[in-house]
Amino acid sequence: MNYQWYPGHMTKAKRMMQEDIKLIDLVIELVDARIPLSSRNPDIDELGKNKARLILLNKSDLADPKYNRLWSEYFKEKGFHVLEINSKNGTGVKAIQGVVQEACKEKIERDRKRGIINRPVRAMVVGIPNVGKSTFINTFAGKACTKTGNKPGVTKGKQWIRLNKGIELLDTPGILWPKFEDQAVGMKLAFIGSMNDEVLHIDELSLDLIHFLQEKYDGVLKKRYEVEPVGNTSDILREICVARHCYLKGEEPDLQRAAAIVVEDFRSGRLGRITLEFPE
């Protein structure tokens, strides 16, 4: 399967961000903790150069704790400030205010020397579709400031949100890059739901996921579905069909339905805390 998805509004979003970046002190980038590199848009580093940077490992509750720690160390070594968060339940979010002040202390000190006191830090919130930006902003603000949805592309325009005297946020639409150089990146993005499922073949996606789990998280499929994950991925999917009673008329296995179950069980965390890529 070829993984590509780049709705037209994303080109407009990128132009908008290029115009707004001069107003910004800090770029807050949300990444999915399960795929911290593949869920980063490489354009963001170019857009945000010379700005303070904060990376939030969002959905860290769905990722392997061991790799959350390793990824935090990886990004810190690259010069980023980093926090693990869960924007849905607010875990880690309270710590952000202090990290923002730390990340922007040079800017705050420059303002103080110029006699500018209490000008809020202006932060741009960026990230790919469905990484949880709007949920994060609403949790951080303690109120519903933005539209949210469990699908990519909910945020179409920009909006400024004044959180308190110390920080203003600029929300931006999620943007992917026009073409993935590495199809493995596209596959991981499809796994976590950052592409529209309507343009994907869920049966093929589930086979790729099953293959990964066999290699890196042996025992997960057996524990969840009470199957023996032996043979090729198609055989295992058929076993899951039987275990989950997924049949069409005439007792024909409903592979499409079983595939959707496997993918959704991964995305929701029902398969356990799983990280899909690992720091070098």
Residue 104 domain flag = yes
Q: What range defines the domain where residue 20 resides?
A: 9-171
Residue 34 domain flag = yes
Residue 1 domain flag = no
Residue 277 domain flag = no
Question: Do 13 and 136 have their domain in common?
Answer: yes
Question: Do 101 and 240 have their domain in common?
Answer: no
Residue 264 domain flag = yes
Q: What's the chain's length in residues?
A: 280
Q: What is the pLDDT of residues 176-219, one digit of tens each?
A: 555 566 788 888 988 998 777 777 889 999 999 999 999 999 89
Question: Do 21 and 123 have their domain in common?
Answer: yes
Question: Do 113 and 224 have their domain in common?
Answer: no
Question: Do 96 and 226 have their domain in common?
Answer: no
Buried b / exposed e over 112-151, threshold 16 CB at 10 Å, is: eeeeeeeeebbbbbbbbbbbbbbbbbbbbbeeebbebeee
CA angle 41, 180, 200 (to 5 degrees): 105
Question: Do 217 and 156 have their domain in common?
Answer: no
What angle in degrees, to the nearest 10, is found between the helix axes of 183-192 and 255-268? Answer: 80
Question: Do 137 and 65 have their domain in common?
Answer: yes
Residue 177 domain flag = no
Q: Note the helical H segments in the chain.
A: 9-20, 43-47, 65-77, 96-103, 105-113, 133-141, 183-192, 202-216, 220-225, 233-243, 255-268
Q: What is the CATH number of the domain that holds 103?
A: 3.40.50.300
Question: Do 93 and 211 have their domain in common?
Answer: no
- Would you give the end-to-end CA distance of the chain in angstroms? 27
Question: Do 36 and 166 have their domain in common?
Answer: yes
pLDDT of residue 85: 97
Domain count, the chain: 2
pLDDT of residue 250: 82
pLDDT of residue 249: 86
Cβ pair 58, 85 in contact under 8 A: yes
Question: Do 44 and 120 have their domain in common?
Answer: yes
Tens of pLDDT along the chain (280 residues) come to 665 555 555 666 677 777 888 889 999 999 999 999 999 987 888 888 889 999 999 999 999 999 999 999 999 999 999 999 999 999 999 999 999 999 999 888 888 888 887 788 999 888 887 888 889 988 988 865 644 444 343 444 567 788 878 888 887 666 655 556 678 888 898 899 877 777 788 999 999 999 999 999 989 999 999 998 888 999 999 999 999 999 998 889 999 999 999 999 999 999 999 999 999 8
Q: What is the CATH number of the domain that holds 246?
A: 1.10.1580.10
Q: Note the helical H segments in 85-219.
A: 96-103, 105-113, 133-141, 183-192, 202-216
Q: Where does a domain end: 171, 190, 222?
A: 171
- Nearest alpha-carbon partner for 194 in 13, 41, 29: 41
pLDDT of residue 154: 40
Question: Do 165 and 208 have their domain in common?
Answer: no
Token representation of residue 56: 């939030």
Cβ pair 127, 31 in contact under 8 A: yes
Cβ pair 166, 97 in contact under 8 A: yes
Question: Do 102 and 225 have their domain in common?
Answer: no
Residue 3 domain flag = no
pLDDT of residue 3: 59
pLDDT of residue 231: 84
pLDDT of residue 264: 97
Cβ pair 71, 34 in contact under 8 A: no
